[in-house]
Copies of this chain bind each other. A is one copy, B any other.
C-alpha cells in the first residue's frame, strides 16, 4: 500500500489531494514540523532529504512533488489526471509544476526559511520583506501566461490544480490578498468545492 508522509498545509498537500482524487488505496503518516520531526533519525531513514512529501511505494521511496504527482497519474490512469498519451501536453504540465517547485515555492520559502541560504538576521528580514513582491510576480505571470481556465491546463482538471492550490493557500502568509488575483481566487473556490479536496483539508486542519 502507498504511504504518504506529510505535514499539515505543507506542499505535501498536493500529493495528498492527488492520492484522494486518484482513488488510491493509501495511508498517511503525519510529521510534526513543530518538534523538527523531519530531522529525526527515524524520518531521515525514510527520506534523507528531511522533507515532505515522501511517498513509500512497494518499489521504494519517492520524493519531490512533480515526480510523485506524475507517478500517481501514471499509476492510476483511469483518474485522468494528466494527458499521458500526449508528450507535449504532459511536458506543459510538468513545466507548470516545475515552475511551482523551483520558482514559486522557493520565492515563498524566503519568508520563513531564509536560514537555508544565509546566516544573518538582517538577511532573513530583507528576504522576508521581499516575499510579497516576488510571490506576486510569480502569480501574475501564472495568470497572464500559463493559466488557461477554468483549470490550469484548460477544461480538464489535472495534476497542476492541486499543486497550484497548495501554494495559493500560502498567499495569506505572504501578505498577499488572493482576491487581488482574480483567476487564482476563482480557481481556489472552484477546487475547494471538490469532495476529495474537502476530505483532505479536513484531515490536515479538521
Contact = CB atoms under 8 A, between A and B. Distances in A.
Interface of A: 48-49, 57, 59-60, 62-68, 70-71, 74-75, 87-88, 90-95, 98-99, 101-102, 105-107, 110, 116-120, 122-123, 126-127, 129-130, 134, 141, 144-145
Contacts of A119: 126, 129-130
Main secondary structure of the interface of A (DSSP, over half): helix
A170 to B, nearest CB: 16
Contacts of A102: 64, 98, 101-102, 105-106
Contacts of A90: 70-71, 74
A123 to B, nearest CB: 4
23 contacts: A49-B99, A49-B141, A62-B88, A62-B91, A62-B92, A64-B94, A64-B98, A66-B98, A67-B91, A70-B91, A75-B87, A102-B102, A106-B106, A110-B118, A117-B117, A117-B134, A118-B123, A118-B130, A119-B126, A119-B130, A120-B126, A122-B123, A122-B126
